[in-house]
A and B are shown apart, each in its own frame.
Chain A
Amino acid sequence: MINAVLVFNNTGQPRLTKFYSQIDVNLQQRLISEIFTLVANRPASACNFLPLPPLLQKTSSEALSDTDQPTRIIYRHYATLYFIIIADDLESELGLLDLIQVFVECLDRIFENVCELDLIFNFETLHQVLAEMIQGGGVVEVDRATIVESVKKAAKVTKRPTASLPDSATRSASPSGRSTPVHMAHRGSGVTGIGSNDFVWSGR
């Protein structure tokens, strides 16, 4: 099961927090900052798995009895944002890496050249996309087209152009409009292998 999905930026500011188990708000913040310190010091070439932060480290007695421990933290770094998934060992590490990629690509399709500001101002949409992919800790859909379609359909029901209006507003709001549109799928490293239609890690 997936325990949490987090998105924060290069300075550790949260952009999305979704915990699939109910924990206290203060603990959430502590966890985020612990993971941030872990992730911030990693060089770009390092692998995408994090050791467990102190808060999640298991005690020896628990290690034997309980299997529902979060055991893996997988992250991906896109420009200014870190995407983190905390999961237990029933999830596949490499699969989750792809899941993050799917998530980001869906956002990219919805916002068209998504950047951090889009996510800040549309964080409700961000939650919706995530909810279409993961529900209560289980992966429910991995097909990009289906996810994007359902989010857009739901947006139509609201009769409010949530996705587009603030989007354009943010662009004008950004102090220095240096947002060069580079399509998500063309990122230098890590994405090239995802071209196959199974969306699962297929190497590079």
Chain B
Amino acid sequence: MFEKSLYDLIRGLRAHKGNEKAYIAQSLQECRNEARSNDMDIKCAAILKLIYLEMFGYSMSWASFHVLEVMSSQKFVQKRVGYLAAVQSFRLDTDVLMLATNLLKKDLSSPNQFELSLAINGLSHIVSPSLARDLTPDLIAKMNHSNPYIRKKAVLVMYKIFLQFPEALRTSFPRLRERLEDNDETVVSATVNVICELSRKNPKNYLPLAPQLFNLLTTSKNNWMTIKIIKLFSSLTPLEPRLVKKLVPPISNIIKTTTAMSLLYECINGLISGGLLTHLAGTSDGEDLAILCVGKLRGFLAEGDSNLKYVALLALTKLTKTHGYLVAAEKDVILECIDDEDVSIRLRALELVVGMVDVEILQQVVGRLLRQLRPVSSDDVDSGKREYDENTAEEDDEDGEVELVKRTNGPAKPAVSLPDDYKDGVIRRILEMCSKDTYANMPDFEWYIDVLVQLVRYCPGEIKGSGGQSLDDEDFEEAYTAGVDVGEEIGRELRNVAVRVKTVRRQTTEAAELLIGRGSTMFPVSGGGGKRVLLAAAWIVGEYAEHLRNPNETIDSLLQPSNASLQADVVSTYVQAIPKVYSYLTSNDSIAWTPERKTTVSFLTNRVVEFLETLSSSPHLEVQERAVGFLEIFRLAKEAIAEQPANINKIPDVDDGGIQEEYDPPLILTQAIPSLFHGFELNPVAPRAQRKVPIPDTLDLETPINPQLAFLLSSADYDAGVGEFDPTAMAADEEFEKFYYQKPVVVVETAAQRIDRAASNAAGGDKHGLTGSYQSGEDTYLDPDIVARRKAERRERNKDDPFYIGSTGASGRTTPNPLGGEHFDIDSIPIMKLDLGDGTGLVKGEGNVGAPVPRVKVEIAGDEGEGVDDGEDIEPVGVGSLRMKGKKGKGKNILNVDSSNLVGFSLEEPEEDLLAQEADVAKAKKEVERLRGEIARAAERVRVPPVQPIVEVPPQAQPTEVAKKKKKKKAVEEGDDSEKKKVKKKKKKEGEQGTATGDGDQAESIPVVKKKKKKRRSSTAEAGGDAGEDAG
């Protein structure tokens, strides 16, 4: 049969486009056969093909033995293939690895430098603890090889050896240190590389090298090495603060002189992460250096190279911790990066900005971010995509032909709409920024509320059903730590503001009202994202019903039948909010109980009952339970309203003299229902505060509330059985069946219906006229309706403020345009007299970047229960902590290098170890003595008994057995001579204690054999000799 070469395989793969899988399966089968071949060439070709296929995910672990065969080939070509295969496929648990030791030893002593380097390189991949132990001496020798080509590789492989066999570090360290003085630069570089890796694990060991390294730093011309040395020093400086002073001049010299950007960056990075700047903080040197660094980093940002921007942002992020004020000074360039076209740069910039944001720039930053989030008009996206597709389609056509070098510079892609996860991230960052340190940086809460409402509209569609299902308590815990829907987080913020900041509670409630009222029109348009904000909105609306602008409308929206199709937990908050708003509307007993009043109230009550009735058969238990509970109360209310007659006239006619009966509103409305909700005001409570509440001693969770429960239940079952013929019971049963076993019919609203409804809503005098269109041309980050509302509010607020220049009339123009309009009247320009007497009166424009924002002192409620916290960590309020927790562990990181062996590994052998070793040796000696004595005794015993049975044995058998004793049981098992065994057994019987000779003795003394081979051997020889004599 003709075998395929790798070349044939690749061509075959290309020829079988579409059904590669079948072709590969066939080829793998061929390889299996070929790998077993006796012809080394065929075997080698098969292995090469397997390596190629391994790249595509076809494991070749089964072929490890064949790989070993190829590795041991005499021909270099084949050996190389073998080593490549080993490098690609061997793992620590590959069993043939232990067979490779001798092969590697041999190849490491090869005179051919390429074979030698092959072995070294191979070893760097496949080294195991035992290989490392056995080959360390060979490698140490190679570190002094005459050829630098070998030296550099030998030095580098030592790190891999140390990882597996840390003890090698002690023996080889002097050699390694010598290599720092090597006359070949690459060898020195490799050595620095190894020391750099090592010193991260245990820097203490390498402090003595500091002078040598310092020398290298000042003299080296090799940038690669200089970078490594700087990295190395930044792990040493925390241990030896005196180094800092010494390092500063050369490093700042490099910063000033180098032309290589990477070196410049690494110097700055080293200064920052090595703690040099922290150490020098406060001194004038440190200040100068920090200013120098920031200046250079600013240059990186301004350079226009995206890579440099990226790394500069990384460095600045680290620097904010110590020199925040210096970084803040560069905010102009940094803020530019937030709008960079590259998303990774944006994210970095965002991270940095979150760290450095303060009262002054918060609004500016958030404004920029909001502008980013504004949806791109769909036309742009489509055309961009099409263009892009064409572009790539052309490129992907044929993979191989295009020169690597040639770079098709397609037409610049138009702004593509941002990926959802980026939007998601941005929103979370905004929330994090704003809520940081319990709103420490918040200049204006009303603005924040507007931002929140705006953010809801920008919420991306739902990412992986994080919400959606009803959450049980345990689930809730999980959802809390795992990814929380952005909408929900926005809601959480809204609620936080409502609870904590009393002064804007009214505004917050109005915002929530807006969300609830528009829920039906807003969310379908924006693709369903952010819907979970309703969770908090409903709560706010209910809890602070007294702040509602229009409670009647709100309860109307809460009672929309379509609400029943919202997510279950949202519906249950709705159910909870409805009675609260209801109670606010109806509980006022100062309103006379007139017939109109009675009609409205009873109408409202009916609606509530109706709505709750639909929910009382909800498949979600939480919704059902709450609905059923409130349903009963409202039914009572309904009855009470019906019974309570209304006043005929509003004002009792005294003059008339007629007795006019006066009725109060039903007590259930004025007293009972409100009392359900008016207890204490809710205050923010620290997350762990509940744990501080001691469990009362009287709390008994064991005793059943009704001891007869079981009986009641069983009798209920029985009743159901008896009432078989009762038609009402039948109906109830049916209902029951239907409820639990049939899927509820969900009324699906079609898009067309929704649109119609939205349209009618908009036409029907919706006060704010939201149409769901976000494509406003106005260059502002808030939607026009929000802006309009703000303006109106501001106008209202400033109506009586004599210093406020109001716009004339109700036009939306706030800034009169001096050049526009032909009927421009100079006299109408309001003139303000400027008091120039003192400089403080200067007015700065609102848009001015640097203008300090006047900050209203706002009281922000802190968490309750924080003060009594005893040692338990309190999670900071805000979104940051949640975000951190959001990423769930995915097990061990796959590319991790296990270097735990080296962590804290000292170069000096610890004394305890030495002592322990001595003790071991002493113990072993004693053991040997004891065993020797035993053997001697046993030998004597053997001599004493009659020689009769042994005589049967052929004379030569006995000595062979003795010789084989050394090989332990194996010899005995292998021995096919049954007589031999018989003899053994007999001997055992005679030997009484069983340990006299043979197996028992051997097994016991095995551990000693290893340590004291010589002694043991001599003693066995003695014993054997004795036995042999007896046999003779």
Contacts and interface: CB of A to CB of B under 8 A. Distances in A.
Interface of A: 1, 3-4, 9-11, 13-23, 25-29, 31, 43-51, 54-62, 66-70, 78-81, 86, 90, 92-95, 97-98, 104, 108, 113-117, 120-121, 123-124, 127-128, 131, 135-143, 146, 150, 153-154, 157-160, 166, 169-170, 173-184, 186-189, 193, 196, 198-204
A59 B889 contact: yes
B125 A136 contact: yes
B66 interface: no
B887 A10 contact: no
Contacts of A204: 305
B77 A158 contact: yes
Contact of B405 (A28, A123, A142, A182): A182
Contacts of B222: 198
Contact of B344 (A1, A46, A60, A67): A46
B310 to A, nearest CB: 4
A27 to B, nearest CB: 5
23 contacts: A4-B895, A11-B399, A15-B55, A25-B59, A27-B894, A45-B306, A78-B404, A80-B404, A92-B231, A120-B400, A123-B55, A127-B84, A135-B153, A135-B156, A135-B157, A136-B157, A136-B159, A138-B159, A140-B153, A158-B77, A184-B404, A196-B260, A201-B261
Nearest to B258: A202
A150 B400 contact: no
Interface stretch (B188-196, B492-500, B742-750, B847-855): B188-196
Contacts of A48: 306-307
Contact of A187 (B193, B228, B407): B407
Interface in B67-114: 76-77, 80-81, 84, 88, 90-92, 112, 114
Contact of A140 (B186, B308, B398, B404): B186
A200 B262 contact: yes
Given A70-B893, A173-B11, A200 B224 contact: yes
B265 interface: yes
Contacts of B895: 3-4, 19, 21, 23, 31, 56, 69-70, 86
Contact of B307 (A49, A56, A177, A202): A49
Nearest to B405: A182
Nearest to A87: B895
A146 B262 CA distance: 22
B399 A94 contact: no
Most buried by A among B90, B160, B345: B160
B309 interface: yes
A61 B260 contact: no
Nearest to B888: A59
Contact of A115 (B54, B262, B308, B401): B401
Q: What 7 A-B pairs have minimum CB-CB distances, sorted nearest first?
A: A136-B124, A94-B262, A47-B306, A59-B889, A117-B400, A201-B262, A29-B57
B43 interface: no
A95 B262 contact: yes
Contacts of B887: 57, 59-60
B405 A113 contact: yes
Given A44-B409, A79-B404, A131 B266 contact: no
A124 B894 contact: no
A93 B311 contact: yes
Contacts of B889: 59-61
A181 B403 contact: yes
Contact of A51 (B92, B309, B344): B344
Contacts of B196: 90
A136 to B, nearest CB: 3
Given A61-B889, A136-B125, A169-B7, A182 B403 contact: yes
B897 A10 contact: no
Nearest to A90: B231
Contacts of B732: none
Most buried by B among A80, A108, A174, A188: A80
A128 B51 CA distance: 14
Given A124-B84, A184-B404, A198 B112 contact: no
A179 B260 contact: no
B224 A139 contact: yes
A153 B407 contact: no
Interface in B160-190: 160, 186, 189-190
Contacts of A143: 186
Contact of A154 (B114, B305, B310): B114
Contacts of A20: 125, 897
B342 interface: yes
A57 to B, nearest CB: 6
Contacts of A180: 403, 406
Interface residues of B, number: 102
B403 A179 contact: yes
Interface in B201-252: 221-224, 227-228, 231
Given A22-B91, A81-B404, A92-B262, A136 B55 contact: no
Contacts of A25: 54, 57-59, 61
Contact of A202 (B11, B52, B76, B259): B259
Given A22-B91, A95-B262, A157-B76, A203 B303 contact: yes
A202 B261 contact: yes
Most buried by A among B263, B402, B891: B402
Given A14-B56, A135-B156, A140 B190 contact: yes
A80 B223 contact: no
B885 interface: yes
Contacts of B52: 123
A203 B200 contact: no
B404 A60 contact: no
Contacts of B894: 21, 23, 27, 31, 55-56
B395 interface: yes
B449 interface: no
A204 B309 CA distance: 13
Interface string B593-620: 0000000000000000000000000000
B372 to A, nearest CB: 16
B309 A22 contact: no
B396 interface: yes
Contacts of B897: 1, 3, 20-21, 68, 137
A4 B898 CA distance: 15
Nearest to B57: A29
Contacts of B309: 47
A179 B401 contact: yes
A145 to B, nearest CB: 12
A189 B125 CA distance: 35
Contact of A124 (B48, B76, B893): B48
Contacts of B306: 45-48
Interface in B4-41: 7, 10-11
B404 A139 contact: no
B900 to A, nearest CB: 9
Given A61-B889, A178-B401, A139 B193 contact: yes
A42 to B, nearest CB: 8
B28 to A, nearest CB: 13
B648 interface: no
A22 B884 CA distance: 30
Given A3-B895, A68-B897, A138-B190, A115 B402 contact: yes
Contacts of A86: 895
Given A68-B897, A68-B899, A150 B402 contact: no
A183 B57 contact: no
B1029 interface: no
A51 B345 CA distance: 10
B413 interface: yes
B896 interface: yes
Contacts of A120: 10, 400
B341 interface: yes
B235 to A, nearest CB: 9
A186 B403 CA distance: 12
Contacts of A80: 395, 399-400, 402, 404
B343 interface: yes
